Amino acid sequence: MRVLWRIFLKMLHSYGLRTIKRSVILEPVYRGLDYMGKVMNYEDLHYFGLKVVYKDLVDNGFEVLNVRKELDVNPQILARKAETLYFIVVRTATFPDMGLLTPDVAANVSRHAMKHKAVCRFASVGVANAKGDNDEMMSKPEIDGEYYINYKGLMPFPQ
């Protein structure tokens, strides 16, 4: 059964370059016509998920302090809202899946957050190729393509 996809984004480059307090958060997304039609690899997918969450945070009044796009760094996003510090772990997967938080990552980030009196949140992002006619094609999002995004906002860490 298909997951309900709630937001349609037309192009990857719609988020562009963002800078906050002397830190470059995101690189320019447009890479030229050479990339058209190429399927996203895991790094591209992860980076795209970070951009979706970043835009949502900014739209909801968060001050994004730092974004780390490396796959092995947790948390990926450090943000603040109303004097509360947030550690945000982002996981992205292709249709029909959603990004999953593993128990060991949750435990490590929770311990780190306790030291800094921060609140832990998890952002699960699902990406589907909007031009796909079947499940197999939808599970292969293309660079600079059209997407369906399944993102339900920030979720608390499981206890």
Query: Does 29 fall in a domain?
Result: yes
The bridge status of strand 23-26 relative to strand 84-94 is unpaired
- pLDDT of 35 > 90? The answer is no
* Residue 141 CB partners (closer than 8 Å, separation 6+): 39, 40, 45, 48, 94, 95, 127, 128, 129, 147
The domain tally of the chain equals 1
Assess if residue 110 is contained within a domain.
yes
The least confident of 17-26, 37-46, 106-115, 133-142 is 17-26
Range of the domain at 70: 7-156
Q: Is residue 1 part of a domain?
A: no
In-domain check, residue 90: yes
CATH code of the domain in which 43 resides = 3.40.1350.10
Read off the pLDDT of residues 89-135 as tens digits, 9 standing for 90 and up.
Answer: 999 999 999 999 999 999 999 999 999 999 999 999 999 999 888 88
What is the C-alpha separation between 23 and 153, in angstroms, rounded? 24
Report yes or no on whether pTM surpasses 0.85: no
Residue at 122 is within a domain: yes
Number of other CB atoms surrounding residue 103 within 10 Å: 8
Token readout for 3 is 């997951």
State residue 25's pLDDT score.
Answer: 36
Task: List the one residue out of 45, 79, 40, 39 whose CA is nearest residue 62.
Answer: 79
Q: Which of 2-16, 38-52, 142-156 has the lowest mean pLDDT?
A: 2-16
Q: Return the pLDDT at 23.
A: 30
